[in-house]
Structure 1
């Protein structure tokens, strides 16, 4: 399978005082504001690159896990992944994935094994040179 997805960003002004907008071709995001404040201060309404990377990682990882569970004969009734992206000293250094799952008839060990495999093969995980940590809990 091969496909391309597209997003665009525009910016006006200086790095600190300027403002921009981010949009996606799917129109899920249309002219969503971002700025120094939304990225580094968390005070304004809008988004930031790290938040978007976290959302992309959580979504990709959770879907990958679902596929891998299916390959082993399991179907999750619920999977929830939080992704916390740590930015320090000008770079993304760590991404902490926190997973909770409800999967009938799976052992905790098998769940963690498949969850860790999903972390390794997730296409978004492979993008990062940052350390990707996983904390997986089966309910």
Structure 2
């Protein structure tokens, strides 16, 4: 009877170890899915930043065109137009910095994911050497 209980305990402990391995494998799969989601989110943020930068560049061109259209006799108008050009230039620089920052963050994310992918992975293979549980009474 003690042999049967020992065998049952051994089988149960092997089964528990197998279940823990499966859980670890699933947690790793979930982590990879979350990594992909973070990458996709960062790529979307980069596309938005590119769009904002492009709009700021267009605004800058429009401000420069407006400056050229202001008559040279209109000193106040020219000052106002120059201020608009400077403001547009500042926005372009700001959006460019934001884009570069987003791109750097994406590179860092990719690098951290590559390091995580090189980590050892536990096996999800079932152990065929587990004996069936027989309770001999």
- Shorter-chain TM band: under 0.3
Larger radius of gyration: 2
Would you tell me which structure has more helix in proportion to its own residues? 2
Larger RCO, structure (CA 8 Å, separation 6 or more): 2
